[in-house]
Structure formats: structure tokens, C-alpha cells
Structure 1
């Protein structure tokens, strides 16, 4: 068998208990590589991984690094490096979170090439500066860094060097998201939306509810436009957001849902809010693939997608007037072709497969 057709063993080391964009990316990559007959194994934890029948091993790493856990996490680094001895040999190792990248790249790179994926912009403030020295040192042992956007690559170029960076935009399974005909959409609205929303313009956001994303802006924009709002997802900021929306029958929180494609298809527009460190938001791609026009805020990451996907950029929530919201009806469906062409799953998998093959030679 030629090297171009040989089977790869891709081992991912990733510990997370939160279902977010990076975790969905990991599961999709594992699924896609397995469907292409490669061996894929996860050491650690990732929501959705075992549910898809993918293989996993425990490695007993501590929690994912954050501002709250970082100090204790740094103290655990020697022990966690020692635990990499439990990880089986592979064609390539794939890491995506700072703890795994900084702490584990060195020992793993002595056994096989290491590839990182960077999902977002560099973390600012004292925490970002604290990480930078260790990150730069670990980058000396990485073979390739896949960045989800050009902006992410620009952040890393002074630290890593352009020769190790490659931009592979996030992708979605476009077959899961459709802009349904009127009759099918009416049936979805009847089945999925609260009855008080059936005759209303319905905005939706589907995301992890984290304070850094400032989803309060979406609530304010929906109310300013006279739209009802479906808030799909869960996270640490949900309680605060529910408190902000208290007393309004126009805002409905669904919690985590597995039928997001159908909920998107039932809505009229998508409200996107991004954290400063976000990369390419898959939520925008999913909404556009479902035919929704996008309303986003100037200077949030990922808003360069909006002109291609149909929609509107605003600075303040009050700018989304009822008239501007109504005008978005004319842009319904305008982003479908763009997402299919630029952010389809197969092209994305081709790029990752090529990176892994080139590194493993």
C-alpha cells in the first residue's frame, strides 16, 4: 500500500467536561477520520465522543486549565508528563487545549509528530502573559499548528513562525442543516416553538452560555426588534441571563437540545454574540446553512462571515429596530451556497488528513 493510502493512527489527548465548539470539532474530526478508515483514539474526556462509538482511554489528567484552575494545574505538570507513558504509540498526536499543548507536547513529540489545533484568539491579560512563555517553549516541539482563521494565525505568527501554521476554517455537516420549504417550516414552528411564538418573528441563538460572549446583547436586541427569542444551550451564564429576561414572555430558554437543526429551521433570524477569544463560530455557519440571516455585533470575532452569509452588523442592541428585523426576511437563504462551498465537512477533513499525513512521514 502506498504511503498516500496508508492507514493513520491519530491519537487525541484532550480533557474537557463542557460541550462547546472545540469539543464538537474534536468529535467531528474523530468521526470523519474513522469513516476514512483511520484508527482514532482519545486519551481523556470529550462530551459526545463515546456517544458516537469512538474509542477512549482514561489518562487521569486534572481539569482543563482556566483562570481558576491554572495555578494548581501548573503544579501538576511533572506528574501529568509522567502519565504520557500510558499513551500508546501513534502516527501523530493531536492536542487542542493549552494544558495539553504546554505540558505534554515535549514528551509526546519524542515518540511521534504533534499537531495542535488553535480554536480562538490569544487569551489577553495576566493569564495570557503567564501562558505565553510556556506556550512558546512547547511550540518548538510541535510539527504543525492548524488555525481556524487567519486572525488566529496572525496572533500566533510572532510566537510560532509562519512556516508551522496552516489555516483550516471550521466546517459543519451541511447535510444536517436545511432551509425548509414553507409548509415544512410551518410544521416545525407548530411542533417546536412555544404557542405564543407561532405568529411572531422568532430570533434564535444556540451557543454555550458564557459571560464572555455577552449574550445579554442578544436578549436586548431581540426585545428592541419586537422579536421573540429562543435561547438554546446551557452554561455558567444561564442563571444571570434568565434573571435579565425575568418577566418577559418574549424570551424562552430551552437548555441543551439535540434538535438544533430543526430549531434553526423554525426560526426567522440568528443573533450571534462572540467572546474576544473566539475563532470561526460554527454557530453562524449552522444558522446560515439553515437559511437564517445573521445579526452580529461589530468587532466580535467571526463577523467577517456575515456579509457572505446574509445579515446585519450592529453596534448596539437598540439598532435592531422592528423595521430592520423585518427587512432581513429578504436575505433568508442567502448564505446557504457560501457555507456549502467554503465550510463543508469533506474539504475540512481533506485538509486535516493531508496535515496528518505530511507530519507522519
Structure 2
């Protein structure tokens, strides 16, 4: 273990809804990486996805239901009286977990409830607290009546933003820059490797891996490819916006047919779209592509998919709403286009060639090992306080 000390790290998450996406992938990777470095890692929360994955990965987990977070109007109001029992349940659950004499307890908080409920108690008990901010900043936070309290409590924790863009947004909300740090998400570069040169078909294969929700801008991508010939677009993802996406495709489709993968929507005689909930091998999927696109229209803190695609040597387009975009050299490592602009994205797709981009930023910024090293440096700093 490089840090020379052992931490007992509790990851906590109590979301309003749960689905498997980039934040969950990154959280599980962080758990595994810290565990490999010799730290004791456990999950405490009500997130079904993380509970299921922790079981599969043999990470200790504790299923605790404390009630919904204050991210809707009614839940924010009822939090006024719900908070006391919720706090008691949380504190009891953490105190029940055995910790050896030589281990320092640490809490990684991933959702709003525990940040409001546990941060003061943890500070009083000299337990370092890290707020890991994977989620985009939206109305749920900007207009939340609990934001002033959260802003005050942030001074008792270290906020880890996953991109400089996210950090600036938190500073704009009133966070203290002295205890707000940036640790970009990391990927295992041994897994995501450059493909061998292969003979391509006459159809240009574009891929998108994204949650099907409005902020990801998948509808913009569909409109952008509509009039480009010899294109097949494969969208991999699920989400609350899936019905709207399929309705858009049906309105734009000349005809449909089904194959082994699912329903294929033909936007023109030579332009087609397929939506898949998942793929069996994500690396093989990236290697099948001529171009990867993430068309996020709103704040997307540090999405993993474009990082993975670039690591595989796939030409990549992303928007300037992606926190990842600020770490790449536009036009050399990837193409960065303005968010929400169908016409500009359309032109970028037409102008993209089949050449492989040399994405040095993937090695320098998004290495999994480098990410774990940065977290361990935070631990070392907190141990000295």
C-alpha cells in the first residue's frame, strides 16, 4: 500500500432513483482500487445498483433505508421532521461497524441526505469526510431550500469535483476553494486498448453510450445524423427518456425492421439507428466504431464513455458541456463542439475522417492508478490534520 497507512472507508449513497451509469461504474472502480491498496472498504446505503454490485464484487455492504433525499418539493419540506430519525439511523449504522485500532475511519458521501445529516457529527468525532460529486448540478440543487445549510457544511468536508468545470460551478454556489479539489475520473488503461487496424465497411458506424435522459442530448445526435448518408448509429443506454427518444425516431423513420440486436430505425435509405440497453463487451463495441459521440446538452461532470473511446483510439466528438472536454486538445485529441447545436454537430460528423486521434490526455489525466494516487494523497493530508 503506497500511502503506508490503512483507512476504513465507508461509501454512502441514498438516491431518489437508482440506475447503472457512469457514476456507479466510477464508484465501484474507486472501491476496488482502494481495496487493492490495502484499505478496508464498505458500502452503506439504499442504492439497489450499488448494493447488487457490491455483493457481486465481495465488497461488504449494509442495506439501510432512511427515506428519500430532499431533492423534490415535498421531500425537501418533509425533511424538516424526517431528518432526526434519519440521522439516528445513520449514526447507529456507522457505529455498529467494527474498526480496528490502527484504522482511521473515513466517509465518502455520494448523495445529499448524508451530507446534510452526518457531516457535523463526523467532524465532531474527527472522522474525515469527502463529498464525491459525480452528479450534474441542476435545479434540484440550485433551487433547493437546503442549499444554504449545505454550503455551510461544505466547510467541514473536502469536496471532490471530478472536473475543473464542476469545481467552478461549486465555487459559484459558495463553496470554499481551499477545501474543494479536483480528481478526474480514471479508467483502466489495460482494459481499454487501441484496436488493430481492420478493414471497414462502406457504412460509417457511429456509437453513443449514454443514459437516456434529456441532459445527455441523444435527441440532438439523432437529428444531426438524419441527412448524412451511409451512417449507422448505435445508441447504448437506458433511462427515463427512452420512450421520448423512440417516439422521435418513429416520427423520423421511413421504415423499421428487427435483427438480432433489436429494432432498426431507417431515417433514410442509407441512414439507420439502433438503441441497445447494453452490450456484452464494451471494448469490442468501441473497436467496432468509426466515430464515438457524446452530445451532452447540460453540465456533464466527467463522463467515462468518451475517455474510454479515446483510449481505444476511436475518433471522438463531445460537447463543451462535458467536463472531460477541457482536458483534450480540440482538433487533435478529439473534436469539441458547442452543446445543444444540431447544425454544428452535423457538420462535425461530416468532416470527421477515419484517422486515429492521439489522445495523450487519456494517459496523463484519466489513468485509474493516478486517480487512486490522488485519493491517497487526500487521506495522507487528512491524517495530518
TM-score normalized by the length of structure 2: 0.81
The equivalent position to 1:78 in structure 2, one of 75, 79, 84, is 84
Aligned to 2:361: 338
Q: What's the offset of the Cα at 1:255?
A: 0.6
Q: Quick one: structure 1 residues 123 and 54, their matched pair in 2 at CA, closer, same or farther if it must change by over 3 Å?
A: same
Q: Contact conserved, 1:310 with 1:332, CA < 8 A, in 2? A: no
Residue matched to 1:234: 238
Distance, in Å, in 1 between the alignment partners of 2:89 and 2:276 is: 40
Q: Which residue of 2 aligns with 1:265?
A: 287
The answer to whether structure 1 residue 150 and structure 2 residue 150 are counterparts is no
Cα distance 1:301–1:357, how it changes in 2: closer, same or farther (>3 A)?
Answer: closer
- Of Structure 1 and Structure 2, the greater helix share is in 1
The residue aligned with 2:258 is none
2:203 maps to 200
Query: How far did 1:120 drift?
Result: 4.7
Query: How far apart are the structure 1 equivalents of 2:79 and 2:12?
Result: 16
1:195 corresponds to: none
Let me know the Cα RMSD of the aligned residues.
Answer: 2.7
Structure 1 match to 2:278: 256
**Who is 2:64 aligned against?**
59
CA distance in 2, matches of 1:357, 1:145: 16
How much has 1:49 moved relative to structure 2? 2.7
Contact 1:275–1:301 (CA under 8 A) maintained in structure 2: no
1:225, distance to aligned residue in structure 2 (A): 3.0
| Counterparts in 2 of 1:252 and 1:342: CA distance versus 1, 3 Å | same
Distance 1:305 1:222 in 2: 26
CA separation of 1:126 and 1:35: change in aligned 2, threshold 3 A: closer
Cα 1:146–1:299 shift into 2, 3 Å: closer
> CA offset at residue 326 of structure 1?
5.3
Alignment counterpart, residue 222 of structure 2, candidates 219, 223, 228: 219
Looking at structure 1, the residues matched to 105 and 187 of structure 2 have their Cα atoms a distance apart, in angstroms, of 26
Q: Distance in 1 between matches of 2:122 and 2:237?
A: 35
Structure 1 pair 41/275, CA: closer, same or farther in 2 (3 Å)? farther
Instruction: Identify the residue that residue 194 of structure 1 maps to in structure 2.
Output: none
Does 1:274 find its partner at 2:288?
no
1:353 aligns with 2:376: yes
In the superposition, the TM-score normalised over structure 1's length comes to: 0.86
Q: In structure 2, what is the Cα distance between the partners aligned to 1:75 and 1:317? A: 46
Q: Are residues 1:95 and 2:109 paired?
A: yes
User: What residue number does 2:213 align with?
Assistant: 210
**Kept after mapping to 1: 8 A contact 2:302/2:322:** no
Q: 1:297-353: per-residue Cα shift (whole Å, max 9, x none)? A: 35555432452632252563234457x535423442422x32022210000000011
Aligned residues: 345
Unaligned runs of 5+ in 2: 254-264, 267-271
Query: 2:194 maps to what in 1?
Result: 179
Deviation, structure 1 residue 121: 5.1
Name the counterpart of 2:12: 13
